[in-house]
Amino acid sequence: MAKDLRDIPPADVRRILARIEALQNDPRPAGAEKLSAQERYRLRQGNYRILYTVADAEVVVEVVKVGHRRDVYR
């Protein structure tokens, strides 16, 4: 994930990291959508998307990818 954040402006990185930290308290916040045919969720932050999985049994949220909306699903 750190590699994904390198090309993102610092102000956006701060907002993205704040959203990721908030997932600790609520792994499925309002606005998070489950991606069809996958066990992943999508969270929007401006023009960027945070893709992540939730393992309820282990109480783990794993951020899979962060990127611009035009590139993140590739």
The pLDDT score that the predictor gives to residue 56 is 84
Taking 80 as the threshold, does the pLDDT of residue 1 lie above it?
no
Task: Answer yes or no: is 52 within a domain.
Answer: yes
Inter-residue contact 24 to 61 (CB < 8 Å): yes
Q: Provide the CATH number for the domain around residue 23.
A: 3.30.2310.20
Q: pLDDT tens, 22-48? A: 999 999 999 999 998 888 999 999 999
Total domains in the fold of the chain: 1
| Residue 61 included in any domain | yes
The answer to the question of residue 57 being in a domain is: yes
The answer on pLDDT for 74 being more than 90 is no
CA 28-12-42 angle, 5° bins = 25
The whole-number pLDDT of residue 11 equals: 95
Q: What is the pLDDT of residues 13-22, one digit of tens each?
A: 999 999 999 9
Q: Is residue 45 part of a domain?
A: yes
Query: Quick check: is 73 in a domain?
Result: no
Segments forming the whole domain that contains residue 27: 2-68
